[in-house]
Amino acid sequence: MSGNMTSEKVDVYIEDLSGEIKEITKQLRGLVLETSDELNEELKWGMPNYSYKGLAVYLQAAKHHVNFGIHKGGKIADKDTKGLFEGSGENMKHIKVRTVHEIDHEYFQMLVKEIMEYNEKA
């Protein structure tokens, strides 16, 4: 990982997961942290959250998938050229990741950069 400040609470959160969900969460965490040294990691609302000039990304483990969530994702929905965003609200959007093979590192990192840019201007 990069020079980010990582949270021990997030370490524990991930350690408590099992199987594919644990591996998906670990990989998503890694790609988020690799995206920018300016992202801050913390455990908020019982899940890993990453912020840069406001909330940016969250990882929410469920029984059969992990939500790769974008706070205010509705504001960058036009950047989701693959149509992966789910969520009916104006703000919160997420992508359900069911296997590690569904993680498109470049695409997900682009989305993280886009929400960081949005937060920079907001």
* Predicted model pTM: 0.94
| 46-75 residue pLDDT tens | 999 999 999 999 999 999 999 999 999 999
Q: State the pLDDT at residue 4.
A: 66
Alpha-carbon distance of 72 to 93, in angstroms, equals 7
Range from 25-29, 89-93, 109-113 carrying the lowest mean pLDDT: 89-93
The answer to whether domain 8-121 has CATH 3.40.920.10 is no
List all residues 6 or more positions away from 88 whose beta carbon is below 8 Å from its beta carbon: none
Over residues 92-98, mean pLDDT: 97
Over residues 84-112, mean pLDDT: 96
The domain segmentation of the chain, as residue ranges, is 8-121
Residue 84: which pLDDT band, with cuts at 50, 70 and 90? very high
